[in-house]
Amino acid sequence: MNKQISNHEEVLEAIAEALDIPEHLDALARKRYKSLGEWLERPQSGIRQFEPEIYPQGSFALGTVIRLISPT
């Protein structure tokens, strides 16, 4: 493989890693989606009859979430 191409790949991989959110934050967000879904489906829920489905959407579903500029 051409050394220049290899260097470009390494740079792109480093950029992707820098933009991606840490695994623990991804897991936390998914856990919260699940928790909310379970709460809405509980017997006492006023909307349980509508069978709500809560799941990651948008960039989470696509696997394209990017890191926040500053932590909240």
pLDDT of 1 > 60? The answer is: no
- Res 51: pLDDT: 92
> What predicted TM-score, i.e. pTM, was given to this entire model?
0.67
Predicted local distance difference test score (pLDDT) of residue 68 = 75
Q: Are 48 and 42 in contact (CB under 8 A)?
A: yes
Computed on alpha carbons and rounded to an integer, the radius of gyration of the chain in Å comes to: 19
Number of H helices, E strands in the chain: 3, 0
20 near 43, Cβ under 8 Å? no
Whole-number pLDDT of residue 31 = 94
pLDDT in tens, 30-70: 899 999 999 999 999 999 999 999 988 888 888 888 887 77
